[in-house]
Amino acid sequence: MSSNLVCAGLMGFSYSADPNDAFASAAAAAGPMWYNGMYHLFYQYNPEGPLFGDKMVWAHSVSRDMIHWVDLDLALTPTEPFDMKSCWSGSITILPGNIPMILYTGIDSNGVQVQNLAFPKNLSDPLLEQWEKSTRNPIMTPPQGVPGDFFRDPTTAWRDPGPDGKWNVIVGGLIKNEGMAILYQSEDFVSWTKVEHPLYSSPGTGMWECPDFFPVSLNSSNGVDTSVVDPSVKHVLKISSFSNVHDYYVLGSYAPKTSKYVPDNEYTGSSTDLRYDYGKFYASKTFFDQPKSRRILWGWANESDTMEDDLAKGWAGVQAIPREIWLHSSGKQLVQWPVEELNKLRGQHVQVLDEKLHSGSVFEVEGITASQADIEIEFELHSLEESAEVLDTTGTDPQQLCSDSNASVRGGVGPFGLLALATKELTEHTAIFFMIFKGSNGFVVLMCSDQRRSSLRDGLDKTPYGAFLDIDPQHEKIALRTLIDHSIVESFGGGGKTCISSRVYPKLAINSEARLFVFNNGTLDVAISSLNAWSMNTAQKNRPTQSYALLD
């Protein structure tokens, strides 16, 4: 029985969870890229079982649209002293001459994490199925003070401006609990020298893994190449926190002359830091999709059930739907949205317009397959001044605020939103909802995803998730898009300003028994300006032994 695990994987319309399928359980995306008309996704995979194993490898799948996929042979397996115990995560950089190069972490024969290089055996192969490891490996070893088991996950490299610009790459690490992005430079992409100072570090934040560093445009939602450095961009540094399994990011300025990065706000490892997603979303990786001028984000949605459950079903972890990512016009945060290609899976459509949700009301959205659906809804509110409860947001943790509330507790303005994967009697449901409070500087919008009633099963992690949504509800409609795919629910609030993904395992609300409701448990009436919902078809996927028709 085969399965994948950490930096990627996919289910339902986010791809089938077939326990015999090497793309059903997954981990972090090790190296996504677009190359010669094809999307490639390399990802961590354990050939021996559904959990993270002693000898991880790089699996490889390709697609024309990031929705339908073909699995290829394994790209990297442990074969040499420098990766004998595992081929862990890394990245891909496309060098001048259109040559893709893999940088990856190997666990050497002594159990030490080292960085290695690999390149295609045959550049004329459109699928790039075979890869060769450099005879110069390892090209980076743990520097002084960095433990041998805390030095991993090299990023996509970027090149400094000018004809003699050096290549730069960062590797995640720590020294005495100070998390850091360790910076290396090279003139030829083979011989690497550690820069005296890290690109950025923060004391007391623990190990940083799966780092990512890339520019975003200040003036457009279009993506830009990873090596762009000019006044028209900000730079994003993303880190995956090993201690709490969340992906955090900072925005800031990169100075190639000094090889220093200065964030607009320091990373502290607290609830005030910016995150890509406030739910189950980890070890993410971006790449620049040059033909469509966009940056694409892949993220791993790991399980919320038990290890025993994973062993029984034979797979663990799914890859979230790929998202386009860009800088909001305010310059204060990133925005994410499912790639447009996902819309081709939309099937049966229902629409509701100008519907009033009175206090305490619940109505069912009928006519779609609620276990596999895409919903877009806009709420409009009036008379907030009289109804919103007062909240002092100073030091307030929004996740704790969501934990203290729930969808059935009556509030002033809210809770209102969706009840996904629900039974008819609502004994099971996952609630994605909003509440609005009156803060010291205006109204505050809270977005929650509450899994506490998602299943009658015991032994599951049903932690509620939450975050504040930076919009003005007096002058803006509150928009929500939710993707439902059996055991994963991905929600995008405010056009993608706040994202929350959850993993849920209903006992009763499965397949045709699942239902979808809209509700309002606030004292203030809420208007639905528009609701559009679609049944979602299943993405197609072939194995290497099957037809490659999906690539035609």
What would the pLDDT profile of 512-544 be if each residue is shown by its tens digit?
999 999 999 999 999 999 999 999 999 988 865
At a CB cut-off of 8 Å and minimum separation 6, what does 260 contact? Answer: 197, 199, 254
Q: Are residues 376 and 443 in the same domain?
A: yes
At a CB cut-off of 8 Å and minimum separation 6, what does 133 contact? Answer: 76, 79, 80, 82, 83, 116, 117, 118
Q: Which regions of the chain are under pLDDT 70? A: 1-27, 543-550, 552
Task: Say whether 18 sits in a helix, a strand or coil.
Answer: coil
Q: Are residues 380 and 460 in the same domain?
A: yes
Report the alpha-carbon distance of residue 527 to residue 520 in Å, rounded.
Answer: 10
Q: Are residues 212 and 181 in the same domain?
A: yes
Q: What is the pLDDT of residue 393?
A: 86
Q: What is the pLDDT of residue 547?
A: 57
Q: What is the pLDDT of residue 548?
A: 63
Q: Are residues 285 and 198 in the same domain?
A: yes
Q: Are residues 328 and 396 in the same domain?
A: no
Q: Are residues 127 and 269 in the same domain?
A: yes
In this structure, is residue 416 part of a structural domain? yes
What would the pLDDT profile of 245-300 be if each residue is shown by its tens digit?
999 999 999 999 999 999 999 999 999 999 999 999 999 999 999 999 999 999 99
Q: Are residues 460 and 499 in the same domain?
A: yes
Contact 352, 367 (CB under 8 A): no
Q: Are residues 326 and 394 in the same domain?
A: no
Asked which of 309, 338, 367 is the last residue of a domain, the reply is: 338
In this structure, is residue 547 part of a structural domain? no
Asked which of 338, 366, 391 is the last residue of a domain, the reply is: 338
Q: What is the pLDDT of residue 353?
A: 98
In this structure, is residue 546 part of a structural domain? no
Q: What is the pLDDT of residue 11?
A: 38
Phi, psi (degrees; rounded to nearest 5) at 135: -75, -10
Number of domains in the chain: 2
pTM here is 0.95
Q: What is the pLDDT of residue 29?
A: 81
Q: What is the CATH number of the domain that holds 15?
A: 2.115.10.20
At a CB cut-off of 8 Å and minimum separation 6, what does 369 contact? Answer: 347, 348, 512, 535, 536
Report the DSSP beta bridge partners of residue 215: 235
Q: Are residues 232 and 353 in the same domain?
A: no
Q: Are residues 249 and 384 in the same domain?
A: no
In this structure, is residue 309 part of a structural domain? yes
At a CB cut-off of 8 Å and minimum separation 6, what does 547 contact? Answer: none
Q: Are residues 23 and 165 in the same domain?
A: yes
User: Residues 381-387: contacts with CB within 8 Å, 24+ apart?
Assistant: 381/413, 381/436, 381/473, 381/478, 381/524, 381/526, 381/527, 382/527, 383/524, 384/413, 384/436, 384/438, 384/443, 384/473, 384/474, 384/524, 385/438, 387/412, 387/413, 387/522, 387/523, 387/524
Asked which of 287, 314, 338 is the last residue of a domain, the reply is: 338
Report the alpha-carbon distance of residue 525 to residue 530 in Å, rounded.
Answer: 15
Q: Are residues 318 and 361 in the same domain?
A: no
In this structure, is residue 542 part of a structural domain? no
Q: What is the CATH number of the domain that holds 415?
A: 2.60.120.560
- Residue range(s) defining the domain that contains residue 420: 346-536
In this structure, is residue 545 part of a structural domain? no
In this structure, is residue 217 part of a structural domain? yes
Q: What is the pLDDT of residue 394?
A: 86
In this structure, is residue 57 part of a structural domain? yes
